[in-house]
């Protein structure tokens, strides 16, 4: 830089990755696909007679839960491509030769993947306002959506980055990331009866995705205060911090595959 001070390495990587994600069109394509899915869900909630039993608070809760889950999917798809994609394209060697510490490379790539989450949430805001107007939940929906969605986005982004660091190919990294995501999401589809008792409650609270989704429901559907069920945020917060730390630690051991450019 002209003033003799250079930008941190992670910042340079972040700028390059943001250009690839957004100017390259991948981020816009994923966000557009997300908007189509959210539009379909909102249309069904608002107009389908089979779903008219849903009250407005439940409709807002559903939209926020779908937004949080889909935002996490967008982030994990981008993060799962971060390192394994470079290997598949034969560009990892060039990247590692750059004068940037490897953990800062990983941090820049993770931050770029996380940029998909606020974009997705901005897309969801008009739906939240439309369905929640008049029942006084729009403010809570924005706060809860940002809080839970940000924790889950960091957690899933870090998970995708860890898998991308160790996967043999980009295909394996994406497949493993989506498999883990589906495994975490599956318990949210269990009936209310299956979630009763100490085992069901333990599963609900220790699974970061189910805990986050239930927190959204408790606040927006049941009308609880933001603080009343805050213990449900412990698992998402711990998982987000732990996985981000693991991703950065593992990035320090980032290597090319022996015997080849990968």
What is d(CA 242, CA 181) in angstroms, rounded to the nearest whole number?
Answer: 17
pLDDT bin (cut points 50, 70, 90) of residue 100 is confident
Q: What is the pLDDT of residue 18?
A: 93
48/197: higher pLDDT: 197
Contact 78, 113 (CB under 8 A): yes
Structural tokens at position 184: 């975490």
What is d(CA 145, CA 128) in angstroms, rounded to the nearest whole number?
Answer: 10
Q: Does pLDDT of 23 surpass 60?
A: yes
Q: What is the pLDDT of residue 50?
A: 54
CA atoms within 13 A on the CB side of 143: 12
Q: What is the pLDDT of residue 203?
A: 80
pLDDT bin (cut points 50, 70, 90) of residue 5 is low
């Amino acid at each position: 830089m002209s003033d003799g001070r250079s930008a941190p390495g992670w910042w340079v990587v972040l700028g390059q990755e943001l250009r690839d994600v957004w100017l390259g069109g991948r981020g816009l394509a994923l966000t557009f696909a997300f908007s189509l899915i959210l539009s379909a869900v909102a249309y069904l909630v608002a107009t389908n007679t089979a779903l008219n039993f849903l009250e407005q608070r439940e409709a807002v809760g559903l939209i926020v839960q779908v937004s949080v889950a889909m935002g996490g999917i967008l982030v994990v798809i981008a993060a799962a491509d971060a390192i394994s994609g470079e290997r598949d394209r034969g560009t990892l060697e060039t990247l590692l030769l750059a004068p940037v510490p490897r953990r800062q490379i990983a941090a820049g790539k993770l931050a770029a993947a996380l940029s998909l989450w606020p974009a997705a949430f901005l897309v969801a805001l008009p739906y939240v306002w439309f369905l929640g107007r008049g029942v006084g939940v729009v403010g809570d929906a924005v706060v809860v959506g940002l809080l839970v969605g940000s924790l889950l986005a960091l957690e899933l982004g870090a998970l995708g980055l860890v898998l991308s660091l160790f996967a043999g190919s980009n295909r394996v990294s994406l497949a493993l990331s989506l498999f883990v995501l589906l495994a975490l999401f599956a318990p949210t589809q269990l009936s209310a009866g299956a979630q009763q008792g100490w085992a069901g409650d333990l599963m609900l609270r220790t699974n970061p995705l189910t805990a986050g989704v239930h927190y959204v429901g408790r606040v927006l559907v049941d009308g609880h205060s933001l603080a009343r069920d805050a213990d449900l945020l412990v698992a998402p917060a711990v998982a987000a911090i732990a996985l981000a730390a693991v991703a950065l630690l593992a990035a320090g051991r980032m290597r090319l595959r022996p015997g080849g450019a990968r």
